[in-house]
Amino acid sequence: MRICSVSHKVPPTRMTNEDVLALFRDATRRGDVNGEWDGIERRLKFFLNAAGTRTRHVSAAGDNALDLAAAAAGEALEKAGIGAGELDLVVYASVARGWLEPCMAVVAQEKIGAVNATSFDVLDACASWLRALHVVHGLIHAGTYRKVMIISLESGMADFIRFSLPDRDALKKYSAAVTLGEAATATVVTGDNPDDDFYFTFKTFSDGYDLCLMPLENMRNYAPELQQDDLAANKFMANSGKLVGETVERLVGAFKQDSRLSQGGFDICFSHAASVPSGRITCNALDIPLSIYFPTHENFGNTGAASVPLAMSLARDDARLRRGQRVLVAVGSAGITVGFATFTF
């Protein structure tokens, strides 16, 4: 397998931390937070400062998220020198979606004109893109498909933020949502690489499944033990401190126990970083020089499953990612799942 191209597009609207605070301030004026704005503002400012988030891109009213994905896909196909009709598989690998069925990939396939492809979704929270790459790698090696596009589209993030809060203590669960940003990425991979050296490994620690959730209305039918009065449907919640701490600990453990990873020799590193410090802490714990780490959180926020391909596209544009380099991808995700990939770009 060979990664032929990676492209990204972000919405033109850039939201600052003050813009996010203004949305909560407006909610306070409507009485949605019981007049406790001062305490909420202090906590939000502290959280945003600790996370290192400065700006993020968000959709404006009336924007069609799939148009953004189609633009990223068109650019990726052009870079790869492949026509949409040559694709035989389209995979949608994202958390954000407009419906549960049919798969989002079907509509993405239609949008980009991949008339000869089949399509399906891969969903594993922020690890979705890396999971999809692993799945596609196996399918290409099996000879099932030859030209594949992976689309990661994290959009509509404002809809996942709970602006209406019962009290300021609810911020313990919902603060992490204020760091969310939006991005569309398209990755074109093909089977024309006789020197394929891709290596993937994943571990899931299922006892942490309740640390990060985006529940549906019917969650009570599947996990009644999690049903709480302050748990809002379709809103992103996370026990951020515990989630980050446990995820980093398990990333480090999995990395150091794997001889193919711990031997090092990487030229550039990409990760899903829910915050600026978490990326740096992980690199330091893995003895990865910060000079080879390519972060995106400060200016783009937490872009979920699009984080890694967004970073790769930006690094490619900046000539930081070059052919022949040894790449390390490290992802910590809700679940808790940790995943790694190494390959020569």
SS3 annotation, 301-312? CECHHHHHHHHH
Q: How far is residue 142 CA from its own chain's centroid?
A: 27
pLDDT at res. 84:
98
Q: Could you report the per-residue pLDDT of 167-193, keeping only the tens digit for each?
A: 777 778 888 889 999 999 999 999 988
pLDDT at res. 36:
66
Number of neighbouring beta carbons within 10 Å of residue 214: 18
Cβ proximity of 83 and 94 under 8 Å: no
Number of neighbouring beta carbons within 10 Å of residue 114: 24
Q: What is the mean pLDDT of each successive set of 10 residues along the chain, which is 345 residues long?
A: 97 94 76 62 89 94 93 98 98 96 97 98 97 98 96 91 76 87 97 90 95 89 76 87 92 94 94 91 92 97 97 98 97 96 97
pLDDT at res. 324:
96
Cβ proximity of 192 and 145 under 8 Å: no
pLDDT at res. 169:
75
Cβ proximity of 316 and 325 under 8 Å: no
Instruction: Please check whether the domain covering 199-344 is classified as CATH 2.70.98.60.
Output: no
